[in-house]
Chains A and B, each alone.
Chain A
Amino acid sequence: MSLFKLTLKELQEKFTRGEISATEIARAFLLRLNQVESKIKAYVTLRDKDALLVQAKSIDQSLQGWRKTQPLMAMPLAIKDNICTKGLRTTCSSRILEDFEPPYDATVMARLNLHQPLILGKTNLDEFAMGSSTEHSAFGPSRNPWNPKFIPGGSSGGSAAAVAADECVAALGSDTGGSIRQPAACCGVVGFKPTYGRVSRYGLVAFASSLDQIGPITKTVTDAAILLNFIAGHDPLDSTSSRKETPDFTKSLKKKDVKRLVIGIPREYFADGLDPEVSETVQDAIQTLKELGGSIQEVSLPFTQQAIATYYLIATAEASSNLARFDGVRYGMRAKETKSLAEMYRLSRSQGFGPEVKRRIMLGTYALSAGYYDAYYAKAQAVRTLIQRDFASVFETVDLLVSPVMPTPAFLLGARLEDPLQMYLSDVYTIPSSLAGIPAISVPCGFSTMGLPIGLQIMGRPFDEPTVLRAAHAYEQATTWHTRRPVIRS
């Protein structure tokens, strides 16, 4: 079997047993990238080939004689390009950061690098993670490996496409309103957004700080648990990171059932606008969870329909403030030949940001401006409380919530580009849990008649990642969806 087809767990085991070398892994993935990357365009920046081989060789040499491996050693990973990687260009898929080489590593990178993984490159995203399709990348969209005419989802579309196309063994993404789960669903892979605060955001280029969270995108639920183990935990450099103890997430995978778990089905997530094929596929998955011992209960989250409006006020308000730092002074693009500081700010930002980023900065600035602050921003913060209470209230009686990830399978490239609101509506099922900060996973649960993957969303109580992983794993092991891989035509 080709090395690039293996899961993280399988590749780890082969490497630890000494059956394969780091150099063989590096060569296998370089070959794979050479074969398919031009069709998928998952990456913004690839690691220098020679540097990668030198790193692999040095790992192999360090292991000669006494084979004491580390858990992520030589594992080929892809990193979303809004996560700072020291010395490796980090663009956020924006012109304004086209040449930015971070002088430091994000905390998640520092933690991964302790174990010497092979970082293959930085993956494409919607500019500054603002979007649901990667079409807002300044460097062009990534393609869905199942059908290149369709979006890979977004904003972590490059990471999801890279995992689905076997262009890495696992990846990191970031999720603000669905940006890990939605592309995972579109590409037929696993995407896990942990509880807000579970993973440090230090070095994640900020979009909406009260919502952003880093998480794994992988081939299996087991792989997601493995990767989360390395990145989770308190970080003194991020005061919003939790001090709660980090459990061993792989331990939650032992029980392969959902016995004694009450699984809530929120009725608002099956209302108008849900594609019948997606609905049917998710209903089948709910039936499987029932057969695995789950007690299914219909519940209501009444403020679901206000979630998108709430999100697009809060996220854009935070973005307008966060992106004020891009002023052409300390890093990033500076407009040429400007006469004054104010003109330099305006021209650098206007030339550096793409249309969706400008649109969101405008919306956020408007929502925060004098005269509108209470009507828009404060109002949205109050409704956010109501949305959070919706979840707190149902979690008194249920252990998990199950729903679709997205109302439709992946849509055609270009289909929603001219209508921002239609694009926003594709996040209707992932946004509420983001606003509440709860953990939520996307696992493959079937395919449309067009052959495009469909995802199942499982949400849990704050910091109850173990129960979410247990259910996702039990479902995955009872089905075969995760074993299907796209055929990428040359």
Chain B
Amino acid sequence: MRERSEMHQISKEEVEKVADLARLDLTEEEKSVFGSQLSHILAYVDQLQSVSTEGIPLTSTVAESQSEWREDIVLPGLTVEQALANAPESDEGLFVVPKILGK
């Protein structure tokens, strides 16, 4: 394990902000446990800050190519029934969700 000298303590507010961005509702206990575990993990990953990466290109993938062209033709896909088969709620060929706009 690396030194935890530059320990980045994540505050409860930060945990709440990140949970909100990730669309997660955390219990008070989860906030506290995740806060301390994330601080611990971030202290560990902080070791990367000591690596000089000036001028080093970023690797987002090791794949040979990312963009592929194909003919613009219709290929078989899922039927509406298949696409809706796993939906928690559907009606008349559509996904049903709770109300989006306010009352």
- Interface of A with B (CB < 8 Å)? 99-101, 103-104, 196-197, 210, 236, 239-240, 242-244, 303, 305-306, 308-310, 312-313, 320, 324, 327-334, 338-347, 349-350, 353, 355, 358-359, 361-363, 365-366, 369, 375-376, 378-386, 388, 420-421, 424-425, 436-437, 462
Contact = CB atoms under 8 A, between A and B. Distances in A.
A344 B97 contact: yes
Contacts, number: 175
24 contacts: A104-B78, A104-B82, A210-B61, A239-B63, A240-B66, A242-B63, A309-B45, A340-B98, A346-B24, A346-B25, A349-B23, A358-B26, A366-B18, A366-B42, A369-B17, A375-B49, A378-B58, A381-B60, A382-B51, A383-B53, A384-B59, A385-B57, A385-B58, A386-B51
A69 to B, nearest CB: 30
Given A358-B24, A379-B48, A210 B62 contact: yes
A110 B52 CA distance: 46
A243 to B, nearest CB: 7
A236 B49 CA distance: 39
Most A-side CB within 10 Å, residue of B42, B49, B83, B99: B42
A334 B15 CA distance: 24
Contact of A344 (B34, B37, B98): B98
Contacts of B19: 362
Contacts of B61: 210, 240
A210 B60 contact: yes
A94 to B, nearest CB: 14
B28 to A, nearest CB: 13
Given A243-B64, A339-B98, A365 B18 contact: yes
Given A344-B97, A363-B41, A385-B59, 8 more contacts: A103-B82, A210-B61, A327-B23, A334-B88, A341-B99, A347-B25, A362-B24, A420-B41
A210 B63 CA distance: 8
Nearest to B62: A437
Nearest to A350: B25
B62 A388 contact: yes
Contacts of B30: 355, 358
A358 to B, nearest CB: 6
B34 to A, nearest CB: 6
A329 B95 contact: yes
Interface residues of B, number: 55
Nearest to B81: A103
Contact of A382 (B34, B57, B70, B88): B57
Most A-side CB within 10 Å, residue of B15, B47, B61, B99: B61
A424 B41 CA distance: 10
B63 A361 contact: no
Given A331-B86, A340-B99, A362-B34, A239 B65 contact: yes
A77 B98 CA distance: 42
Nearest to B100: A341
Contacts of B67: 239
A303 B51 CA distance: 9
A424 to B, nearest CB: 8
A329 B57 contact: no
B85 A101 contact: yes
A199 to B, nearest CB: 12
A103 B30 CA distance: 35
B74 interface: no
A97 to B, nearest CB: 9
A304 B65 CA distance: 26
A323 to B, nearest CB: 9
Given A210-B62, A388-B59, A310 B70 contact: no
A444 to B, nearest CB: 28
Contacts of A384: 58-59
A362 B18 contact: yes
Contacts of A355: 30
Interface string B76-103: 0010001101111100000101111000
A386 B57 CA distance: 9
Contact of A331 (B1, B58, B62, B87): B87
B54 to A, nearest CB: 9
A362 B14 CA distance: 11
A242 B51 contact: no
Interface in B19-42: 19, 21-26, 30, 34, 37-38, 40-42
A369 B42 CA distance: 14
Contacts of B88: 328-329, 331-334
Contacts of B47: 305-306, 309
Nearest to A103: B82
Given A309-B45, A340-B99, A421-B41, A385 B56 contact: yes
B58 A309 contact: no
Contacts of B51: 303, 306, 379, 382-383, 386
B95 A381 contact: no
A133 B26 CA distance: 25
B89 A334 contact: yes
B22 A320 contact: yes
